[in-house]
Structure 1
Amino acid sequence: MSILDQFSLKDKVIVVTGGTGILGESFIQAIAQAGGKIAILGRNKDKANERVAMAQRLGAEAIAVITNVMDEQEVIKAKNEILARFGTIDGLVNAAGGNIPGATISMGDNLFESEITDTIKAIELNLYGTIIPTHIFGQVIAEKGKGSIINISSLAASRSITRVLGYTVAKHGVDGYTKWMATELSLRYGDKVRINAIAPGVFLTEQNRTLLTNTDGTFTDRAQKFVNNTPYSRLGEPQELQGTLVYLLSDASAFVNGETIFVDGGFNAWSGV
């Protein structure tokens, strides 16, 4: 197999949760361009159908499956629908997640009087929203003996980032779960079943838009701090995650397992000096 063939996703069936989000859109575009078939999961039917149309314009087969990844029975139903259409599952991208406004603790808030229920919701969405699909779709991958799962981690799992308590706790959990599951899957199902994570830097999405931009579109002080502490001196563009995604889904990363790859313009590497 040539090196170019190793990066191909031709005829691989990839499930993308959170496919109606900004990063999900970029992931779907990349998978389509690499030749994959895509099952797009999300709760917004119109957005999901838009993503299907985009994938089809790029020459890929795609279906929309309206699913709440926090509901185990809905995810099982989605799995059955995907298997009925495509017959198998070769990869999973757990892109569902994001911060919840009520879980953001601003500097002016009393740290100990914040609404803890919203923090718990943020933890559940990002952590359980990764674990549930992995256990359901991952079973198909494991039992066929080959496939790749990608979780979405964060800078918040390696660096202390103020305000986002629930998101931070959840992403630490995602990192730990990725390592644990990578070990268990390989020991039980062999060396062709893999799970890794991508830790994006700061990308402007719908979930963080109010934190990073003012009403006039300029950066907030918080966004400017991210820019100032990134050697690239800018925020990331969603398409800059595509190469890493395809690499981890493809056979090119066959010996990569249990790792978290940062795509952050050097933010995590820099001391600030």
Structure 2
Amino acid sequence: MSKVVVLTGAGGVLCSTLAKALAKEGRKVAVLDLRKEAADKVANEIKNDGGEALGVAADVLKKESLEIAKKEINEAFGSVDILVNGAGGNHPLGTTSNPHFSKEDLENKAEGFKTFFDLDSEGIQFVFNLNFIGTLLPTQVFAKDMVGKQGCSILNISSMNAFTPLTKIPAYSGAKAAVSNFTQWLAVHFSKEGIRVNALAPGFFLTEQNRTLLTQTDGSLTERGTTIINQTPMGRFGEPEDLIGTTLWLCGEGASFVTGVVVPIDGGFSAFSGV
């Protein structure tokens, strides 16, 4: 019997790629996104390629919205077997302008310039909510379908900066560290029911959120982009397709005794000492 997979944030580049890969494996895929048109676009692409998919609008920060989405999915496909918590992101209000603080920064009055002391608590809260609460609430809603069944799993999306925080993005780094910790907690909590919980920790992948930080308009690298590539042994940014193999493994029966792990997919970035 074909397993039912729910992916949040699946209108984006990375999770839409995972949705299509899971559909090609014969799963029934529910594509969830805050933007209905984005969810439908991915679902239609899957269906046009011969797969089974459903585009659903859902807000991962509102449990009622997720409950409505679950009802729609259950009616169309049946109960959920696999959940991929892909919704997440950063916010400029939780980001410093410079990687290192100097006292001269306190005199910088340029518009948009932010030191640690200027970080906005609402912006930081938004980042934590989107990444952590946006993982917790979908798990509360969809994991109920997994109780009492075999071969069910949850896959969270952490980040390599959960291991070592990157400069300038304290909110995002902290939020993803919380996702990694929560992954381990859930793995233990659900272990007696046989629900496996793991996470991917992507390194640097070019997305619409970070493209302007890492590349110039002509496609050349920014200073930060150059630093990243120089610190990445494989010498390139990740491609969405680089996440597929690990996703299929962790969501499949081949990983039947694997739970509570966070797998870096970063081209060796986290293994490189810099020398």
TM-score normalised over the length of structure 2: 0.92
Q: For residue 230 of structure 1, what is the aligned residue in structure 2?
A: 232
Of all paired residues, the percent bearing the same amino acid is 41
User: Where does residue 213 of structure 1 map in the other structure?
Assistant: 215
CA contact (8 A) 1:32 1:58 kept: no
Q: Mark the runs of 5 or more structure 2 residues left unpaired by the alignment.
A: 99-112
Specify the SS of the correspondent of 2:65.
helix
Partner of 2:74: 83
Structure 1 unaligned residues grouped into runs of 5+: 1-9
Decide which moves more: 195-204 or 211-220. Answer: 211-220
For 2:207 and 2:160, how far apart are their aligned partners in 1?
A: 15
If the length of structure 1 is used for normalisation, what is the TM-score?
0.92
The structural deviation recorded for 1:214 is: 2.0
- Cα-to-partner distance string for 1:31-76 (whole Å, 9 max, x where unaligned): 1111111000002222211101111123211001101111110001
Q: Of residues 46, 50, 61 in structure 2, which corresponds to 1:55?
A: 46
RMSD: 1.3
The question of 1:127 aligning with 2:132 is answered yes
Q: Which structure has the higher relative contact order (CA within 8 Å, separation 6+)?
A: 1
Residue correspondences, number: 261
Given candidates 92, 97, 103, the residue that maps to 1:106 is 97
Amino acid across the alignment from 2:58: T
Between the aligned partners of 2:147 and 2:202, the Cα distance in structure 1 is: 26
Q: Which residue of 1 aligns with 2:167?
A: 162
Contact kept in structure 2, 1:204 and 1:236, CA below 8 Å: yes
1:143 Cα offset (Å):
3.8
| 1:197 aligned onto 2:203 | no
Give, in whole Å, the separation in 1 of the partners of 2:37 and 2:218: 28
Q: Are residues 1:243 and 2:234 paired? A: no
Matched, 1:25 2:16: yes
2:183 to 174, 178, 183: 178
Note if 1:38 corresponds to 2:29: yes
Larger mean Cα displacement after TM superposition, 108-117 or 28-37: 108-117
Is the counterpart of residue 66 in structure 1 residue 57 in structure 2? yes
Which residue in the other structure is 1:14 paired with?
5
Residue range with higher mean Cα deviation, 135-144 or 146-155: 135-144
Larger Rg: 2
Distance of 2:250 and 2:13 partners within structure 1: 20
Q: Is the 8 A contact 1:99 1:208 kept in 2?
A: no
1-structure distance, mates of 2:267, 2:134: 27
Deviations 1:100-127 (A, max 9, x none): 1222211163211222210111111001
